[in-house]
Structure 1
Amino acid sequence: MAAGIREQELAGLRWLVVSGERTEVFRALGQAARADVHAVQDALPERSALHRWAATERGRIRVGRVLDATHAACGRQLAELRALAAGAGVDFHDLLLANLRGDLGVDDGTGCTDLGWRRTRSYVAHNEDGAPALDGRLMLLTLLVEGDAPVTVQWYPGFLPANTFTATGNGLVWGINHVQAARPADAPGRHFVARALQQAPTLDAAVDHLRTRPSAGGFAYTIGDRAEGRVVVVESVAGRTAVVEADPVHHPLHWHTNHLRHLPEPADAPIAAPATDDGARAARSLGQFEESVARGKVLSALPVPADDPDAQWYLDILTSAPLPDGVHRTAAGADPLMTLCSVVADLTGDGITVRGPAGKTAEMALSDFAQGRAAPATG
């Protein structure tokens, strides 16, 4: 039976809701977003260099090791990407390389900022930063796959829907930040691990999933649990994990950008510049690392409120100003990225605020958002 597709809008973002059997869902998704999948792939600045590198002996070995590990640990998620490629009429290998680019030790830039808060109330807030060419391509996607808990994600067409902000029908939300891994592990691709994470029934199960399935490349997750209000940060990078939980008494506010805060950084682990023979690319990556550190300095200087702040407090932090005063990205000057969407999830109040293109903002119930039910007022 063919999958069902419903299209709606939130805060100026296109929102697809796809339901049905797994393979049919991803094939139908590829068909519905075919033009966007092609456009996003064509807009990837590292695409040509990545394909050239993957064709070398070193590249083929690296891709083979990560792909073997992904087959073993995340075969279902790999099949989802294959169905997406078929529906979009795109070569599967092209989409695979794009989805593995952060797992291969090549430069993957920076992007995204997360905030987590737990005291009497709990929040998770996320800035999704991407290339200006992707403005208007980023969309919301709800997957209602038979046998799965519902999940709504921010989605870049052509990527496995996993590497951005996620809200699940099991009451979990998280934002994801890229962390460069110069020497990736022989482990599953991080997008595939993150996609499998979306079926975790509890926060403890989510943390256990990331501890027992470390990824080849690097993601930092800021995860919140609507039922209990707990918030944790998990760094999962190059086969290693670190977990830090927000302490409502002593340390309620946590932030993350695109560099490690909790894992140690010895020379043979994730570092600022990727393992590459191209000195220009290494220098660019170092500059991006320093940009992440600069955003971190802004966030570390935030005064911790005596009382629980409201959603607007987080939205102001994420959107009020670019560096050196804030973390909002505008693709101005030397910065190659812009903030494409900002999200604040109020775990305690079951609410979510989404700020899309041109500052268009909408509020709705977080539980409805995860289920793909939308009828909010937009301002």
Structure 2
Amino acid sequence: MTAVVREQRLAGLRWIVVGGGRREVFRALGETAREDIRAVQEAMPERDALRRWVSTAEGGARLQQVLQATRTRYAAEVAELEALAEGAGADVDDLLLANLRGDLGTDDGTGCTDLAWRRSRSFVAHNEDGAPALDGRLMLLTLVIDGLPPVTVQWYPGFLPANTFTATGLGLVWGINHVQVVRPSPAGAGRHFVARALQCAPTLDAAAEHLRTHPSAGGFAYTIGERGSGRVAVVESAAGRVAAVEATAEEPLHWHANHLRHLRDAPDVPPAPRPGCESGHATADLGQYEESLSRGRALEKMHLGPREPSGDWFLEALTSAPLPHGVHRTAAGPDPLMTLCTVVADLTGDRLTVRGASGETAVLPLTDFSRGIATSARAI
């Protein structure tokens, strides 16, 4: 069986659509993105530190612990990564290490911001932040795999397509934020693999249940929206613990950065400090933690009161200004990251707005986006 690959562009971003059998799709993807996979892996700032860590007795033991749990529970997803490596001519152990970097207790920086709203209309919006070296490498990827629902994600080549913004053909969307875990759960699997398996969830309730029953060693915060019902929820999954909060008419606006807001008593992750308390965790990078808290303070100012926001409001909120007035990242001064892509999903209007790092912006139906259809997109 041969996979079918086609390419298109949206808002200045390369968009790859791959269809066929599961293994064939990932092998073809590796072949198509071979140069980008090599470039992204070489650009990873934490790559050398990861290799040094897993060469120690403690780091090596932790890696094997997470690998065993991941291979046992997510054999199909591990096979996807193996096929990707095969197609790219890459070392599969290198790709596995990169995909598990947030599950080993090592520092993984900060990045990405999410906003969500539910009242008479529903929205999920996401800033994807990354190193400037990845500008032009982040792309859109649609997987149309036989027997699985179609899914479109923002994709860093070489990674399992799971750790960014996702829209599925089953009507779910979500943005993901990294959450630093300083003592990973010994029973948890790799968070990228948990998130990839989540893409088959048919409903928001099923997605939340999947995260409750499939613990990850590291941490992700998911801001999830359900197109059919308009329901929106934030689910924090970190070090084997999970907390979920659903938006309501009384509390319609929710946000997330890279610190916990709901798992306040988890001892294995740096908790969000309460007002008047000293921030941080003894083993956390407090400078990066403070950057996330600063974005949180900027987001807290975005009160809407009784009025309903528009998609333009969310786009403006995420892209108008850097700290201290906004959350758009420009890699200026001490900030090492930039916003590579912004998306606003209007669940009620079945509309997705995409803005690339260059400022090019396009809109198209959310249902078309999830299936890899770009013919209805228009620039704005």
TM-score range, shorter chain: over 0.9
Corresponding residue number in structure 1 for 2:165 = 165
Question: Conserved in 2, the CA contact under 8 Å of 1:127 and 1:318?
Answer: yes
Rounded to whole Å, the distance in 2 between the matches of 1:341 and 1:118 is 23
Rounded to whole Å, the distance in 1 between the matches of 2:228 and 2:117 is 15
Q: Show CA shifts across 1:171-190 (max 9, x none).
A: 00000000000000021100
Deviates most, 106-115 or 64-73: 64-73
The alignment partner of 1:177 has SS state of strand
Corresponding residue number in structure 2 for 1:277 = none
Corresponding residue number in structure 1 for 2:319 = 319
The alignment partner of 1:358 has SS state of coil
Corresponding residue number in structure 2 for 1:226 = 227
Task: Report the CA distance between 1:305 and its aligned residue.
Answer: 3.8
Deviates most, 340-349 or 300-309: 300-309
Task: Report the CA distance between 1:357 and its aligned residue.
Answer: 2.5
Corresponding residue number in structure 1 for 2:7 = 7
Question: Conserved in 2, the CA contact under 8 Å of 1:272 and 1:285?
Answer: no
Q: Show CA shifts across 1:130-164 (max 9, x none).
A: 00000000000000000000000000000000000
Task: Report the CA distance between 1:272 and its aligned residue.
Answer: 7.0
Q: Show CA shifts across 1:3-48 (max 9, x none).
A: 0001000000000000000000000000000000000000001101
Rounded to whole Å, the distance in 2 between the matches of 1:292 and 1:357 is 20
Question: Conserved in 2, the CA contact under 8 Å of 1:180 and 1:272?
Answer: no
The unaligned stretches of length 5 or more in structure 2 are: 273-281
The alignment partner of 2:358 has SS state of helix
Corresponding residue number in structure 1 for 2:73 = 73
Corresponding residue number in structure 1 for 2:257 = 257
Question: Conserved in 2, the CA contact under 8 Å of 1:127 and 1:341?
Answer: yes
Corresponding residue number in structure 1 for 2:48 = 48
Rounded to whole Å, the distance in 2 between the matches of 1:154 and 1:3 is 20
Task: Report the CA distance between 1:331 and its aligned residue.
Answer: 0.3
Question: Conserved in 2, the CA contact under 8 Å of 1:265 and 1:271?
Answer: no
The alignment partner of 2:100 has SS state of helix
- After the TM superposition, which segments of 4 or more aligned residues of structure 1 sit over 3 Å from their partners? none
Question: Conserved in 2, the CA contact under 8 Å of 1:272 and 1:289?
Answer: no
Question: Conserved in 1, the CA contact under 8 Å of 2:182 and 2:283?
Answer: no
Task: Report the CA distance between 1:72 and its aligned residue.
Answer: 1.7
The amino acid across from 2:87 in the alignment is G
Aligned length: 369
The alignment partner of 1:359 has SS state of coil
Rounded to whole Å, the distance in 2 between the matches of 1:304 and 1:148 is 39
Question: Conserved in 2, the CA contact under 8 Å of 1:193 and 1:213?
Answer: yes
TM value normalised by structure 2: 0.95
Q: What are the within-5 Å matches in structure 2 for residues 1-379 of structure 1?
A: 1-186=1-186, 187-248=188-249, 250-265=250-265, 268-271=267-270, 285-375=285-375, 376-379=377-380
The unaligned stretches of length 5 or more in structure 1 are: 274-281
Q: CA RMSD in A?
A: 1.3
| Identity within the alignment, % | 67
TM value normalised by structure 1: 0.96
The amino acid across from 2:321 in the alignment is A
The alignment partner of 2:9 has SS state of strand
